[in-house]
Each structure stands twice: as C-alpha cells, then as structure tokens.
Amino acid sequence: MPRVVRFHETGGPEVLRIEDLPQRDIGADEVRIRVDAIGINRAEVLYRSGRYLETPELPSRVGYEAAGHVDAVGGDVTHVRAGDRVAVVPSFSMNAYGVYGEEAVVPASAVVRTPEGVSAPEAAALWMAYLTAYGALIDIGGLGADDAVVIPAASSSVGLAAIQIANRVGATPIATTRTTAKRDAIRNAGAPHVIVTDEDDLVAKVRWITGGRGARIVFDPVGGPFVDTLADATADGGILFVYGILSLRPTPFPVLRALRGGLALRGYTLFEIASDPARLDRGIQFVTSGIAEGSFKPVIARTFAFEAIQDAHRFMESSEQFGKIVVTVP
C-alpha cells in the first residue's frame, strides 16, 4: 500500500502522520501519479492548522504540488499517458485530493507535462509560484515594459517568480524584505531594487525609483496594517493585489487613497486562473516558454526526505527559507 500523509486534527506540524492507505481507484477524468517530489507552500500550512479558505474534513489528506511519473490514466484522459513526466497545478480542493504521498490521484485538468531539462524537484517548485505570479501580474495586471511592481516578501517562491516575470517583460521589480538578512540574495536573484522595510521609508523609495509616480502594481502576500503603506506607494489608477494573509491581522481598506487616486485593492488567488481552462493554458504556455528560453528558474531553498514532512512544515513556519521547500519521495 502507498504511504500518504494525513492529519486527524488541525494543529501544528506534529499532527501530520505518514500512513499506509489502499491504492486509490481513478475515475474517467483522473490521473494517478507516482510522486517523486512534493512542493510545500503556505496554503497547506494554513489548511493543516484550520485557517485556510476551506475547512478540512478529517481525517484529511493535504498537498497541492507534486511532480513524478504517470502511473495510470482514466478513460477520458488523452493529453498524458503512463510513464510521462508530469507535475500538478494547484486547481482543486484538498478535501477531495491531496498529493503528499508516494502516489497521488488528481484531476486530469491539473496535470501538465514537465518541460525538458526540468528535474522533479524543480517541477514540484514550479507551477504554484509561477502561475500565481503570472495570473496577477500578466493575466489580470497586464504588466509591461513601462511599469514598476512592488513585490513584498520577495524571498518567497512566488516573490522570486514575480521578479523573474517582471524582468522577462521588461518591467521594474521593486522587492521588499523585512530585514537585511536576505537583501543581497534577493538582489542577486534579479531584483534591481530591494527595500528593507524595517529600516527604509518604502513610500519615499518607491516614489524615487518611479520618478514620483508610484508602482502601477503591488503584489502582496502579507496583508494586515502595512497595506496602508503599500497603498501610498501605488500609482494613481494602480492595482494592489492581496493574495495572502501572512500577517493574520485585519487588513484595512485604504479608502482615502482609493478615492484620491483611483486605486483598486483586489483579492486574488491562483484558482481564479486555474479554474478557467483557456486562461490556465495561456499561463502554462507563458511559463513553459520562459523555462525554455532560460528566463525562469525555480529557486529551491532546501529539500527534505519524505519521512521528515513535519520538519519541512516547521521550516516553512520559520520563514527562514529563500525560495521553495521541496520534499523528495523515495
């Protein structure tokens, strides 16, 4: 029987258990994957702790991101076949599917071929980060060569992907980080401007970099009170995306700034793109072409063995990582 990760109660990393479960049958529009690598992300931490967009139905599997080989396909599946190297695009409920395990069954619509030259750990680190950034910056925001984008928490996998995407389209990425600890690494990862928010005046620096205009797009995973400051750094008519709740504190609506400058404060998740087949396909093509031309390269912070899944979650919660945390499966 394949080993999978489940939890029987919400809580800290210690609630994650590795269990033997019978192999799951597949439906006509599903794919079973032999998992080689798993990507860890904040959504799974929130889900495990009972603070996510959906409430776990216990006992619950968990996991959005995985890469491996196709083991079997349902009768209606035509775009992949047994033996193909594939990865999973987060586009489903973890109450229905979860990829932490030696095997995973997922909807066929969530399965994409792994690009040539991309390893399993890199493939597990690819799709959540790059499609999340693509959806806000390119699909919705239309980021282009004359634009600046502020990227808070830039050392995250999504933040680093956003830097690479901005550079690819000729925009100006302005990365932020709370302390100086990761400043040089973020600059070396391609950000020409790095603002240390514990020390620098973010609004003044953004205005200086942009010639007084402000950034047309802000791409924020944190939320909370600092949104007021980010709003002041946003250009008139700009968009402030909030795609996460790392702060866990109430997020204000900057009404005066919105009224004065036509600012749009917009909630966003990857599911907005992943639930629309045409938009998802455009995103996959954008990311695949960026990989092929060398513009995109996932940054892996650290890898853990499957048996150390709890430690992987603890490392995620430490916020010490630079890039993606990956778990390898024997």
State how far the Cα of 308 lies from the Cα of 297, in Å rounded to an integer.
25
Q: How many residues does the chain have?
A: 330
Q: Please give the average per-residue pLDDT across 281-291, as a whole number.
A: 98
> What is the three-class DSSP state of 239?
strand
74: left (phi over 0), alpha (psi -120 to 50) or beta: beta
99-128 pLDDT tens trace: 999 999 999 999 999 999 999 999 999 999
Closest CA to 6 of 90, 98, 68, 91: 98
For 108, the 3-state DSSP assignment is: helix
pTM tops 0.85: yes
* Helix locations, the chain, DSSP H: 42-48, 120-124, 127-134, 157-168, 183-188, 202-209, 227-232, 255-261, 271-274, 277-293, 309-318
Predicted pLDDT of residue 89: 96
Domain architecture of the chain: domains with CATH: 3-126+299-328 (3.90.180.10), 128-271 (3.40.50.720)
- Predicted pLDDT at 216: 98
